[in-house]
């Protein structure tokens, strides 16, 4: 190897082991505790710390980082550019197939373009499957490659401007469905490609609802990228709200719903900034818009509805770090039934965050158990859920520790 070559981040077992030891001691954990969480023998773990064993593979290094709650891999490797995030879940087995379909730009194809109505029906079925399935990524991941290919073919083969716009609506919605699959998986560049292509397709369609949905998802991509991107998230949201506002008096329920969802997103980002007044003001406005929808209405993409506003209130309170308020809102939200399994699971996770803030860890773990029952994949890919479980598997209270550990095994945080 050239003397100028960059050494591997774990090339020195002793230095790597020393970093692990320092981080473990900062956490106040024993070698046996860490070994148990990693699913290895204390003897094997001691050899890692002592530099007596070949450096572990990347998967084990990431597990160590997760157990020690390391957010920056530089603390383990000494490389400042290395980063690990609890909010990135494992790569789904179907991720490669979805990625290949998204990245494929065949200029010629032998695929016969399906009728518009056919793809529209498949999309309706895919959304329904997502909301009804416990393992929603598996459900839509199986459908997406063919849907993406056929929607792209439909756009390319459109015979008229009207047909092309109609096809772009379906392509934009296909990208929206893809973003739900890709979110919190280890391919952020793919998420951005999908979000931006969805917006481009929606703008080409000139359909207000499609533009609203694409804006909603693009704003989320910005916001979830961190505080430096909050302004960009607000800019996308505000532009979409202004665009839709003239259409609301005579618009369809879907247009009103996406406008309401966008209004709430402004409140969500404000809550992330800890802007209490703005956060609740946007929630109030979104709640008023939800009240104009039929009682049983449920937006197929955003889940915006009367029923979901209670869950949204919990999220605002949690993001504002208002533990008591989040618990009160959670009690009120339980009066409504959220139809979508993944959205119901997400609400239970937010509820768990509220109970954790309110120093009720046993109830927080119980809420995560309910989330797992509703949709295991939602918990498996959610950083907040994993952070709470990692906290409680170290509890000094044996019943709580055992309960959290059992759920952590099911989620995949702990080895059996």
CATH of 13-77, one of 3.40.50.2000, 1.10.260.40, 2.60.40.10, 3.40.50.450: 1.10.260.40
d(CA 6, CA 4): 6
Q: Is the pLDDT of residue 277 over 80?
A: yes
d(CA 365, CA 410): 13
Find, among 144, 152, 147, the residue nearest to 181 by Cα: 144
d(CA 78, CA 303): 43
Percent of the chain with pLDDT over 70: 90
Q: pLDDT band at 40, cuts 50/70/90?
A: confident
Domains of the chain, by residue range, sit at 13-77, 308-416
DSSP state letter for 133: -
| CA 210 from centroid of its chain's CA atoms | 21
d(CA 87, CA 258): 26
Q: Is the pLDDT of residue 193 over 60?
A: yes
Q: Is the pLDDT of residue 367 over 90?
A: yes
Asked if 415 contacts 38 with a C-beta cutoff of 8 angstroms, the reply is yes
User: Dihedral of the CA atoms 193, 196, 201, 204 (nearest 10)?
Assistant: -140
Which pLDDT value is given to residue 83?
A: 55
Q: pLDDT band at 7, cuts 50/70/90?
A: very low
Provide the CB-side half-sphere exposure for 93 (13 A, CA): 6
pLDDT in tens, 169-188: 999 999 999 999 999 888 88
Q: pLDDT band at 4, cuts 50/70/90?
A: very low
d(CA 53, CA 44): 8
Q: pLDDT band at 81, cuts 50/70/90?
A: low
* Of residues 258 and 30, more confidently modeled: 258
Strand (E) or helix (H) holding 316: helix 309-319
Q: Is the pLDDT of residue 3 over 70?
A: no
Which pLDDT value is given to residue 5?
A: 39
Strand (E) or helix (H) holding 231: helix 230-244
Q: Is the pLDDT of residue 327 over 80?
A: yes
Q: Is the pLDDT of residue 353 over 50?
A: yes
Q: Is the pLDDT of residue 100 over 60?
A: yes
DSSP-assigned states of every residue in 256-277? HHHHHHHHHHHHHHHHHTT-HH
pLDDT in tens, 139-172: 999 999 999 999 999 999 999 999 999 999 999 9
* 90 φ/ψ angles, rounded to the nearest 5 degrees: -70, 155
Which pLDDT value is given to residue 162?
A: 96
d(CA 77, CA 18): 11
Find, among 361, 368, 349, the residue nearest to 395 by Cα: 361
Asked if 296 contacts 257 with a C-beta cutoff of 8 angstroms, the reply is no
Asked if 171 contacts 154 with a C-beta cutoff of 8 angstroms, the reply is yes
d(CA 399, CA 402): 5
DSSP state letter for 382: -
d(CA 257, CA 304): 6
Task: For the chain, report the end-to-end CA distance as a whole number of angstroms.
Answer: 40
* Of residues 393 and 336, more confidently modeled: 393
- Average pLDDT across the chain, whole number: 89
Asked if 240 contacts 262 with a C-beta cutoff of 8 angstroms, the reply is yes
**Cβ count within 10 A of residue 406:** 14
DSSP state letter for 88: -
What is the three-class DSSP state of 149? helix
Find, among 362, 270, 350, the residue nearest to 314 by Cα: 350
Q: Is the pLDDT of residue 351 over 50?
A: yes
d(CA 312, CA 108): 45
């Amino acid at each position: 190897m050239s003397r100028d070559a960059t050494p591997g981040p774990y090339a020195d077992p002793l230095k790597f082991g020393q970093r692990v030891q320092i981080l473990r001691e900062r956490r106040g954990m024993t070698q046996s505790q860490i070994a148990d969480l990693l699913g290895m023998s204390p003897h094997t773990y001691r050899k890692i710390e002592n530099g007596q064993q070949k450096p572990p593979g990347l998967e084990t290094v990431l597990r160590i980082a997760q157990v020690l709650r390391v957010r920056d891999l530089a603390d383990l490797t000494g490389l400042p550019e290395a980063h690990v995030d609890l909010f990135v879940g494992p790569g789904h087995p179907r991720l490669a197939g979805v990625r290949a379909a998204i990245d494929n730009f065949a200029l010629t194809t032998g695929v016969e373009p399906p009728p518009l109505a056919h793809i529209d029906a498949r999309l309706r079925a895919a959304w329904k499957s997502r909301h009804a399935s416990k393992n929603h990524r598996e459900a839509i991941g199986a459908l997406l490659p063919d849907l993406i290919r056929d929607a792209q073919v439909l756009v390319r083969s459109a015979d008229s401007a009207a047909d092309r716009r109609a096809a772009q609506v379906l392509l934009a919605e296909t990208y929206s469905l893809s973003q739900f699959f890709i979110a919190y998986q280890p391919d952020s560049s793919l998420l951005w490609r999908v979000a931006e292509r969805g917006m481009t397709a929606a703008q080409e369609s000139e359909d207000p609802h499609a533009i609203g949905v694409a804006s909603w998802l693009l704003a989320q991509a910005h916001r979830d990228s961190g505080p430096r991107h909050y302004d960009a998230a607000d800019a996308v949201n505000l532009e979409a709200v202004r665009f839709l506002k003239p259409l609301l008096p005579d618009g369809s329920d879907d247009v009103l719903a996406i406008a309401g969802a966008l209004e709430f997103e402004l409140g969500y980002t404000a809550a992330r900034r800890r802007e209490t007044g703005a956060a609740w003001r946007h929630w109030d406005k979104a709640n008023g818009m939800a009240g104009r929808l039929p009682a049983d209405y449920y937006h197929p993409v955003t889940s915006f509805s009367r029923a979901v506003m209670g869950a949204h209130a919990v999220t605002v309170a949690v993001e504002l770090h208002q533990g008591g308020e989040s618990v009160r809102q959670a009690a009120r939200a339980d009066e409504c039934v959220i139809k979508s399994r993944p959205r119901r699971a997400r609400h239970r996770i937010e509820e768990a965050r509220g109970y954790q803030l309110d120093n009720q860890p046993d109830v927080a773990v119980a809420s995560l158990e309910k989330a797992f029952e509703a949709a295991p994949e939602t918990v498996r890919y959610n950083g907040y859920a994993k952070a709470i479980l990692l906290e409680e598997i170290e509890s000094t209270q044996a019943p709580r520790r055992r309960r959290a550990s059992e759920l952590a095994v099911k989620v995949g945080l702990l080895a059996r």
